[in-house]
Amino acid sequence: MSGRDREKLISAAYSATLSPDQYYETLDMMDELIFSDQSAKYIDALKQGADPELMAHFQRAHDIQLLLGRKKTEKSAERILLDATPNPALIFDQAEKIVAMNDLARQMIGDDCLTLADCGVSEHVLQDIRQFFGSDAVQEIFVEPDHLFAGKKMNSCLMVREIPAVADVERPGGSGRAEKSFLLTIVNLGFDPSTTSLFRQAYGLTPAEASVAVHLANGMQLPEIAAERDSTIATLRSQIKSIKKKTNARDVPAIVRLLCGFSAGMLTSSQLARTSGTVAEEARPPRSSAEMILSDGRKMSYLEQGSPDGIPVIMLHNMPYGVELPQNAIAAASRMNLRIIAPYRPGCGNSDNLKNIDAEQLLDHVAADIQELLDQLDISKAVIAGQTVGAIFALRFARLYPRSVSSLFAISRAPIWREEWAAQMPKRQRFILGLARHMPQLLPLIMRATVAFIDKGHAKTLIQSLCQNSAADMQALKNAEILELMARGCEEGLKQGVEAFCQDCLLAIMDFSEEAKLLETPFHILHGDLDQIVHISQSECFVANVPGTTLEIVEGAGQLLIYSHWDSVFRAIKRSHKNSN
């Protein structure tokens, strides 16, 4: 490395410390300087202790980071609520002035809409909304089939609810006084099979009746439905009569409003509940967070999703996201009788960190933590599933506590590593794992720069950047809920700092295939055929090296399989449970 390049590297280290807005430029410069062919011999010399002055600069930049601490960009209550809503949403006040909207709403209606009337809401629905927020009667939520400008050809409904009063001092020209505000969400009604099935079960409908209700909600007329279902008008009228009786709906519009409201509740209720108070319990998929004190005094937090009395599944997260599932996945887990228990590893979420331990000790501690959790919950055996790096922790638990494992899964990555695989990975992942392998001294510095970038409000941008080379994953991220879950997962997983993440990076470049040969319960791996981040050949190599391992290829899935193709994961878990009994 030339003296000029050495000075650039020192400058980049301080830039990573002081300029989070230049995050990508800094990473690109470091990647070019450290991992160029010309720098290979110099990097090898650094490992042997050469150039202590350069290392001193790295340490000084790291110390400056620690001294400065974290400076998070605080979000307003309105912004938190909008970011937690996975559909186009806006907030308006009693004067019908739009005070904030999320990116999805902005894409749909643009920035020119200043009032509710500007948004293309139908006049009769606008009048009903005015009556809703002007009434003293207690009505928690307003739901009505309608659209905004860009949604005129889409089946959708508008949902409005009052949100806690927010002082308008946060708004330009605000007076500081609190006033009523309302959240309007538009929900596109595709009526996926999960929602339709839950609606059918909730009201005791037959599959045919549920299908007719969905067609009605999609705006189809009786002749169209008859043709679609190869049925008669008389049969449809009989089915509609039965639907009205079972749902206590007065007429067809009431059936449509009921199904729209049910679908809207399934898609948005839990996001609203996290930020703005209560919603109807029957519309919220089962989800709860909890904490326990471990035998050594540490605190461990975990999230339960799905059926409280279902088949127990310990879901071990990726780095640092993967604890929280999409709402449709939670509802499906409940319906399929699966109890998804997702513990935060030490140093992630609210789980206390472990200090001054190496990677092997960490794996053993986490395995012991999981066993304590199972004991606390009075679970004798569970399905153990690890997402990507989480598969390494799943492996260690299965080896140390084989009697507690009913089946073992690795999702999107097997616990194996070969150095030549680094070249297959996208640029960002290759750089981070390269630092872990060749310059681990720099890893905490870079990861703290990453946290600073996230703290500036760029979590979603970071996720998109990490997935930009995988078309299947970029397609998955078009689902606003998935992107929000992953961004929130990064913020939650890194809230305590970067130590746990750095440990995970070191584990990711370790090979555990020999240990896997000692397992009593072999791995079943699920891997997307379109994964361009961790190539499927890595899982195939694990299968070839570890007898008894099985590989299930999930068509159309990328690295984010647990988010985009959770149904494949759940079906595999159910099959394994059936076969183990």
Own/partner contacts of 349-352, CB < 8 Å, gap of 24 or more, are 349/301, 349/323, 349/492, 349/493, 349/495, 350/291, 350/299, 350/301, 351/298, 351/299, 351/300, 351/301, 352/298, 352/299, 352/300
Residue 338 Cα distances to 194, 331, 531, angstroms? 15, 10, 26
Cβ 522 vs Cβ 408: under 8 Å: yes
Residue 255, both tokens:
């059936």
Q: If 0-12 CB within 10 Å is exposed, 13-18 middle and 19+ buried, where does residue 58 land?
A: buried
pLDDT given at position 217: 79
pLDDT given at position 270: 39
Question: Measured in whole angstroms, how far is the alpha carbon of residue 518 from the centre of its chain?
Answer: 33
pLDDT given at position 259: 78
Which residue type occupies 310? G
> In tens digits, what is the pLDDT along the chain, a chain of 581 residues?
677 877 888 888 888 777 777 888 888 888 888 887 655 665 665 565 566 777 787 778 877 777 767 666 666 777 777 876 767 888 988 888 998 888 778 777 777 788 888 887 878 888 888 888 776 655 567 777 666 554 444 456 777 888 865 544 444 454 454 567 888 887 665 566 666 777 787 788 998 998 898 888 777 889 989 998 889 999 999 999 999 998 888 888 888 877 776 665 544 443 334 443 333 333 445 678 899 999 999 999 999 999 888 999 999 999 888 889 988 888 889 889 999 999 999 999 999 999 889 999 999 999 999 999 999 999 999 999 999 999 999 999 999 999 999 999 999 999 999 999 988 899 999 999 988 988 888 888 888 888 888 888 889 999 999 999 999 999 999 888 889 889 989 988 998 988 999 999 999 999 999 999 999 999 999 999 999 999 999 999 999 999 999 999 999 999 999 999 999 999 999 999 888 76
Distance, CA of 120 to CA of 113 (rounded, Å): 9
Distance, CA of 11 to CA of 377 (rounded, Å): 52
Half-sphere exposure of 510 (CA within 13 A, CB side): 18
CATH numbers and ranges of domains, the chain? 3-68 (no CATH), 77-188 (3.30.450.20), 193-283 (3.40.50.2300), 287-426+469-580 (3.40.50.1820)
Cβ 159 vs Cβ 184: under 8 Å: yes
Distance, CA of 445 to CA of 17 (rounded, Å): 7
Distance, CA of 119 to CA of 98 (rounded, Å): 10
Closest by Cα among 77, 47, 64, 67 to 10:
64
pLDDT given at position 39: 58
Q: Is residue 407 within a helix (H) or strand (E), and if so which, with residue range?
A: strand 405-411
